Chains A and B, each alone.
Chain A
Amino acid sequence: MTASLNDIIEAFQSVDAETRLELLLDYAGRLPQLPEKYRTQAAHDLARVQECMTPVFLWLEKDGDRLRIFAEVAEEAPTVRGFVSILIAAFDNHPCDEVNQSPTDLVKQLGLDGQIRMNRAVGLTAIHSRVRRAAA
């Protein structure tokens, strides 16, 4: 668990369900731009998260003992975009061992499991798992 993630979980848990969705939408609007070097078809072919409902592309790289995360998610999928943006805020440039040990029930800890149907929550969990595996 990283300190950043702790803060995010606290923020999500301290508000009601409707405000939680607004927070998620805020994160969706703050997904960092994909660096130029990843914007090729070949780079995308390898980065696709197959388990997810929406086209989600993740680039996960170790930089020393830290994990770097870059991502691309369609604007038509703000829920997934928001979740990926949270993962970046929580884990990018953080120590790999902390990322790897983050809670596997993150979607639930953020309080999003009530509003998102089970199978969609599984897609988000798959994205998180991939990030955790990359940090192992």
Chain B
Amino acid sequence: MAVDKTYAHPDMLVSTDWVNEHRKETDKYRIVESDEDVLLYATGHLPEAVKIDWVNDLNDPVVRDYVEGEKFAALCSKHGIGNDTTVIFYGDKNNWWACYALWVFMLNGHTKCLIMDGGRKKWIDESKPLTKEVAKYASKPFKAGAKNPAIRALRDQTLAHMKANKAMIDVRSPQEFSGERTHMAEYPQEGVLRGGHIPGAKNVPWAKAVAETGEFKPRAELEKLYLGEAGLKPGEEVVAYCRIGERSSHTWFVLKYLLGFENVKNYDGSWTEWGNSVGLPIEKTYQPA
């Protein structure tokens, strides 16, 4: 399936076929695999792809924050990413981690970023080439630019957003949303004291935006989901959150680039911050039987 041209910004996505045709143009593009499983890249990856790991490369080891400034520049340089290089992200789990990595790059002001629609799964399903050999590129100068805080919501901004009754999408599972569980099914112990959601948030689990092929659903289906079921009004200001900001960066991508919500922010503190914070209200709909 080709990329749906009716998306608000179809140019943010490239198909697996397109990547296969252009992957050798490594002076213009850098393909980055970003997975949940730190070992997956080593089991076989797209021949030109380098690996960027969400734990070891993107998170700051000391502050609960993302790498920025010189550290971010060093990460790009090391992989031969210059300020003019277009970075194409793909990964496991429906590009969940690829969207997260893209969001961190965008936050750092590198806007030349694309997603390979369908991710690792589609590439492998189509028997496209894989290798275990690690791709290496000569380092390139990368100058850290101005950050782009407009795509990120911090705790107090989220609180103000909530008080103003503005739209919020909670992308976790219905059980996490209701407060029955404090973590995703099968992902225990993320350290949250209270179950529930931010008052006023609507629940649209992130993976509903993905088709069985691993690609994003066509625009008409996404509109049914977010404009229909969740009741978002076109163009309104939205905050998306989950538990640590990774699943919601997937929904952030969908709302911003596929549906054209210009003013959508990812609240990366998410439930592990909100659910534990002193003084913040929650809504809990789950009633133990």
**B37 cross-chain contacts in A, Cβ below 8 A:** 76-80
**A25 cross-chain contacts in B, Cβ below 8 A:** 39, 42-43
Q: Quick check: is B146 within 8 A (CB to CB) of the other chain?
A: no
Question: Are B43 and A119 neighbours in the complex by a CB distance under 8 Å?
Answer: no
Q: Would you call the interface of chain A mostly helix, strand, loop, or mixed?
A: helix
Knowing A50-B186, A53-B186, A119-B189 are in contact, say whether A78-B40 is a contact too (CB < 8 A).
Answer: yes
Q: How far is the CB of A71 from chain B (nearest CB, A)?
A: 17
**B40 cross-chain contacts in A, Cβ below 8 A:** 76-78
- Number of residues on chain A facing chain B (CB within 8 A): 25
B28-43: CB near A (< 8 Å → 1, else 0) gives 0000000001111011
Q: Quick check: is A105 within 8 A (CB to CB) of the other chain?
A: no
Question: Are B43 and A78 neighbours in the complex by a CB distance under 8 Å?
Answer: yes
Q: Quick check: is B92 within 8 A (CB to CB) of the other chain?
A: yes
Q: How far is the CB of A108 from chain B (nearest CB, A)?
A: 15
Question: Are B188 and A21 neighbours in the complex by a CB distance under 8 Å?
Answer: no
Question: Are A123 and B39 neighbours in the complex by a CB distance under 8 Å?
Answer: no
Q: How far is the CB of B271 from chain A (nearest CB, A)?
A: 13
Q: Quick check: is A52 within 8 A (CB to CB) of the other chain?
A: yes
Question: Are B39 and A52 neighbours in the complex by a CB distance under 8 Å?
Answer: no
Q: Quick check: is A43 within 8 A (CB to CB) of the other chain?
A: no
Q: Quick check: is B190 within 8 A (CB to CB) of the other chain?
A: yes
A12-53 contacts to B, CB under 8 A, are: 21-22, 24-25, 28, 50-53
Which residue of B has the minimal Cβ distance to A116?
A: B38
B1-53 contacts to A, CB under 8 A, are: 37-40, 42-43
Residues of A within 8 A of B (CB): 21-22, 24-25, 28, 50-54, 75-80, 82, 115-119, 122-123, 126
Q: Would you call the interface of chain B mostly helix, strand, loop, or mixed?
A: loop
Q: Quick check: is B127 within 8 A (CB to CB) of the other chain?
A: no
A116 to B38 CA separation, bound complex (whole angstroms): 8
A-B contact pairs, 16 of them (CB 8 A): A21-B38, A22-B42, A25-B39, A25-B42, A28-B39, A28-B43, A52-B186, A53-B186, A53-B187, A75-B43, A76-B40, A76-B92, A77-B40, A78-B42, A79-B39, A122-B189
Q: How far is the CB of B272 from chain A (nearest CB, A)?
A: 10
A50 to B183 CA separation, bound complex (whole angstroms): 13
Q: How far is the CB of A48 from chain B (nearest CB, A)?
A: 10
Knowing A76-B92, A79-B37, A79-B38 are in contact, say whether A116-B55 is a contact too (CB < 8 A).
Answer: yes
Which residue of B has the minimal Cβ distance to A114?
A: B56
Q: A80-B37, A119-B190 are in contact. List 7 more A-B contacts (CB 8 A).
A: A54-B186, A78-B39, A79-B37, A79-B39, A115-B55, A122-B188, A123-B188
A118 to B183 CA separation, bound complex (whole angstroms): 13
Selected from A53, A75, A115, A118, the residue in CB contact (under 8 A) with B38 is A115
A119 to B39 CA separation, bound complex (whole angstroms): 16
**B187 cross-chain contacts in A, Cβ below 8 A:** 53, 119, 123
Which residue of A has the minimal Cβ distance to B187?
A: A53
**A78 cross-chain contacts in B, Cβ below 8 A:** 37, 39-40, 42-43
